[in-house]
Amino acid sequence: MRRSVKEQIQSGLRLGAGLGVFLIGALLLGQAHTRLGVLSNNHQTGWSDWVVWLDVILGIGLLFSTVHVWYQWLAGCLLFGILKGLIALVTGRDVFPLRQVPATHLASLTVVAYCVAALLLMARFMDRKLTMVDRVAVTFFLLCLLPSAPFPSVWEIVGLTGLFLSWGVYRWRERGASAGGAPVGIR
């Protein structure tokens, strides 16, 4: 099935607009993070600043609205994490030390296992449209990856748990549909 030139242009424009909105959302969250850092260094309460709240709400809203575009980029980053973890596992050295984590065999194996688990939980998105639960879970997963802490931090585990819960809801609905009943839950 060939798509016409007009359809290809429209698809490319949708993809470009989605990525642009994703970047704007990421920039808003980065600005909120920076502003919170500056306010906390000055011993002020950062969350009382209405601009921080506005940045966070708009940033998360923009990320949520464009999940269908950027979840594939996130899956590519996880593939890169697998490759990086395997190289560190074999060589004993971290290739691109983004976080200050010693490249022990256990740490490398943990990175590989985490990335494989996240990819397996996200693989079901490739052949179907994302539901509201999936959108929330993937956005939550991305937001849990943002805090800078040594890997694996509590936030990364919480984000993976969100993906796992989304997978559980998907399996529950699928089982309800295959048993002859209508799928239960929010669509």
Domain count, the chain: 1
- Greater confidence (68 vs 92) lies with 68
120 assigned to some structural domain: no
10 in any annotated domain:
yes
Mean pLDDT along residues 145-174: 83
**Domain assignment of residue 123, yes or no:** no
Q: Examine residue 166 and state whether it is found in any structural domain, yes or no.
A: no
State the Cα torsion 127-129-133-138 to the nearest 10°: 70
- Residue pLDDT, tens place only, 89-138: 888 777 766 655 556 788 888 889 999 999 999 988 888 888 999 999 99
Cis peptide before 152, with omega less than 30 degrees from 0? yes
Q: Which domain holds residue 10?
A: 1-65
13-28 pLDDT per residue, tens: 988 888 899 899 989 9
158: in domain: no
Is 1 part of any domain? yes
Answer yes or no: is 58 within a domain: yes
Model confidence pTM above 0.95: no
Tens-place pLDDT, residues 141-156: 988 887 665 666 788 8
